[in-house]
Structure 1
Amino acid sequence: MSTHIGAGDGAIAPTVLLPGDPLRARWIAETFLDDAVCYSEVRGMLGFTGTWQGRPVSVQGSGMGQPSMAIYVNELFRDYDVQSIVRVGSCGALTDRLAIRDVVIASGACTDSSMNRIAFEGLDYAPVADFDLLRDAAAAAPEAHVGLIFSGDSFYSARPELLTRMVEHGVLAIEMEASALYTLAARFGRRALAICTVSDHIVTGEETTADERQETFGRMVEIALTAALGK
């Protein structure tokens, strides 16, 4: 039983979907899983286990940002022997190649976070997705955009103009978790992938509502389940 999840042995499946919002975790469990049971309500960060097409899968809220998400990912890998984590979240489009509600599958994650620089003593580690998960997700969603994303430490950045340089080097969208997820998966020798739906557009100013972000991003969940568990 871990500190921040508090689930018993065997309560969490080897494959976990990881939304930031605990209410999105509940919606995913109620919408996509059969016989879902809540295994954690610690700090209101809900976790559920059920089945999808007869195979066990869990969904766990992680909070916003790399520090919060890293707590849950560490405990899922270390204390519950989870083998695969797929982040299912929202992102902001940084290029007019993307539209609202487009799906982005992150092949790698740039970041302004100091977490990896501290861990690697100043070296720039390059966090990337698990290849098999990436390949299977891309095959399941030919309409999705596959490429780099940016994991920012600040939701309200003091220097948003700096993202232009990232876009010039192929970065598609911004979110707040994938870099730490990919790094921790590598550290534990496990599999990880981030799949995000465009919730707002930095270029055009378009955005979705909070309710839409919570409950209308079903396509990325279908892609995540197919990639992680097979058709």
Structure 2
Amino acid sequence: MSVHIQAKKGEIAENVLLPGDPLRAKWIAENFLENAVCYNEVRGMLGYTGTYKGEKISLQATGMGIPSALIYCTELITEYDAKKLIRVGSAGSYQENLKVNEVVLAMAASSNSGFNKAKFQHADFAPTVDFGLFMNAVRFAENNSIKFRAGNVLSSDIFYEENDQNYKKWADHGVLCVEMESSGLYTVAAKYKVQALSILTISDSLVTGEHLPAKDREQSFNRMVEIALGSF
């Protein structure tokens, strides 16, 4: 067992999906995996292992934000030998033509977090996706006629912005959407030489104000999960 995950060695697969929301982890386990077993309930961060089309897959909730996500990602890699980690999460659109329920593949992750600034002594490390996993996701989406966008996303430490127009400086530079974890995931994956990918579903738009209800955020992201499972 690690500090935050109560699983024994061998109970977690090399391929792990990373939803932020523990209830989304439960929903994915119940609707996509066969013979899913819950291996973790510490702090309510549910973890499951089951099979998908005969392949062993794990799900580990990570909570919100880079610090929380990196606790779980680091322990999954260093204590349980995870090799491929795919985040499946929600995001807010920064572009008028990127609508609610659309899927985004994060090629790179900008950030306003202090995590990499501290790590690299204020130099700019550019966290990017693993090319192999990214191409697997692209091929699966194209072969299954799933519309997606790919590009730069913002991993923000700030959920409630005091200035609701701050997003425009990122949007003007082509950033597609905002979420809270991908930059940290890509950085820790690079450090430990494992593969990582972030797949996001747009749950709301900072441009139009459109948004999904909380229940839909938890349970309606089928296409994102299908792409993730098809990318391993």
Task: Please state which band the TM-score falls in when normalised by the shorter chain.
Answer: over 0.9
1:22 maps to which residue? Answer: 22
Question: Which deviations, in whole Å up to 9, do the C-alpha atoms of 1:92-120 show, x marking residues without a partner?
Answer: 00101211100000000000001001000
Please report how far the alpha carbon of residue 159 of structure 1 lies from its aligned counterpart in structure 2 after TM superposition. 3.6
Q: Distance in 1 between matches of 2:93 and 2:172?
A: 14
Q: Distance in 1 between matches of 2:166 and 2:100?
A: 22
1:180 maps to which residue? Answer: 184
Please report how far the alpha carbon of residue 162 of structure 1 lies from its aligned counterpart in structure 2 after TM superposition. 2.7
| TM-score calculated relative to the size of structure 2 | 0.97
Please report how far the alpha carbon of residue 167 of structure 1 lies from its aligned counterpart in structure 2 after TM superposition. 1.1
Question: Which deviations, in whole Å up to 9, do the C-alpha atoms of 1:114-172 show, x marking residues without a partner?
Answer: 10010000101000000011111112223100111000001102344232121111100
| TM-score calculated relative to the size of structure 1 | 0.97
2:149 to 135, 138, 145: 145
Give the counterpart letter for 1:175 in structure 2.
Answer: E
1:199 to 198, 203, 208: 203
2:110 maps to which residue? Answer: 110
1:99 maps to which residue? Answer: 99
What RMSD over aligned residues (CA atoms) do the two structures have, in Å? Answer: 0.8
Question: Which deviations, in whole Å up to 9, do the C-alpha atoms of 1:195-224 show, x marking residues without a partner?
Answer: 000000111101001100000101100000
Whether 1:218 and 2:218 are equivalent positions in the alignment is: no
Q: Distance in 2 between matches of 1:214 and 1:139?
A: 26
Q: Distance in 2 between matches of 1:67 and 1:157?
A: 19
Q: Distance in 1 between matches of 2:8 and 2:204?
A: 38
The share of aligned pairs that are identical, in percent, is 49
Q: Distance in 1 between matches of 2:7 and 2:163?
A: 40
Give the counterpart letter for 1:52 in structure 2.
Answer: Y
Q: 1:159 to 1:124 in 2, by over 3 A?
A: farther
1:36 maps to which residue? Answer: 36
Give the counterpart letter for 2:171 in structure 1.
Answer: V
Q: Distance in 2 between matches of 1:109 and 1:166?
A: 12
Q: Distance in 2 between matches of 1:157 and 1:141?
A: 33
1:56 maps to which residue? Answer: 56
Whether 1:70 and 2:70 are equivalent positions in the alignment is: yes
Whether 1:86 and 2:86 are equivalent positions in the alignment is: yes
Q: Distance in 1 between matches of 2:167 and 2:118?
A: 22
Q: Distance in 2 between matches of 1:15 and 1:51?
A: 11
Please report how far the alpha carbon of residue 184 of structure 1 lies from its aligned counterpart in structure 2 after TM superposition. 0.2
Give the counterpart letter for 1:173 in structure 2.
Answer: C
Give the counterpart letter for 1:218 in structure 2.
Answer: N
1:4 maps to which residue? Answer: 4
